[in-house]
Amino acid sequence: MPKLDFLDFSEKFTRFATEVRANRTRCDTRFAQVVHVRLADALDRLAGYCREGHQAETMLRTEADPAAREALEETINFCVGDLETSGGGFYPWHLLDRIDPEMDWGGYIDPSAEMWCPSPIPARFTVDDKHLCGLGEIIKRIAADTGIRFTTYLYYDCIGPEGAGGLDPEIYEKPLGNDLYR
């Protein structure tokens, strides 16, 4: 496996964050704006982990003290871990409700009932790109270019004909099972 290039990933995350902020100006609902802001903030955090990892790698090259070297190596490992778990102890990074696949038994964990469901995550829980004002395509490109995945699951599956603009903000501003946005 090739070595992780923190600087390259930092630049990618920063470019994507800039693109997300530019795309936010096209949003026609508060819902889409909130999801855009969350993604831009997440990308900024990921870029920060990369900058910290790069700085630790740079310092490690010249550090002679074994204890300091060990601390720098630990910092690098934490940065890699934060990238792998999205800094929140879970993966993928949930921008709305936290609906996690259950890897051992298949299915998923229902965020409301907090119990295992023996089927794939229903497609109706994934917010369609038409409600995200183009953010879905950016999320796909981020995954393809960096390997980092973001989800837009919404357990409340009744967006309705008026679109996401008609949702009660309480539904998406305090997502189920997602403590990052409480």
Domain count within the chain? 1
pLDDT digits (tens, 9 = 90+) for 98-148: 888 877 778 888 888 888 889 888 888 888 888 999 999 999 999 999 989
Cβ atoms of 32 and 132 within 8 Å: the answer is: yes
Q: How confident is the model at residue 161 (pLDDT cuts 50, 70, 90)?
A: low
| 164 in any annotated domain | yes
pLDDT-based confidence at residue 157 (cuts at 50, 70, 90): low
Whether residue 12 is contained in a domain is answered as: yes
Range scoring the smallest mean pLDDT among 18-32, 41-55, 65-79, 85-99: 85-99
Give the chain as a 3 state SS string.
Answer: CCCCCHHHHHHHHHHHHHHHHHHHCCCCCHHHHHHHHHHHHHHHHHHHHHHHHHHHHHHHHHCCCHHHHHHHHHHHHHHHHHHHHCCCCCCCEECCCCCCECCCCCCEEECCCCEEECCCCCHHHECCHHHCCCHHHHHHHHHHHHCCCEECECCCCCCCCCCHHHCCHHHHHCCCCCHHHC
Joined together, the tokens standing for residue 182 give: 């409480």
Q: Is 1 among the domain residues?
A: no
What is the domain range of residue 94? 6-181
The owner of tokens 């920060």 is: 48
Mean pLDDT of 145-154: 90
**What's the rounded Cα separation, in Å, for the pair 115 and 130?**
30
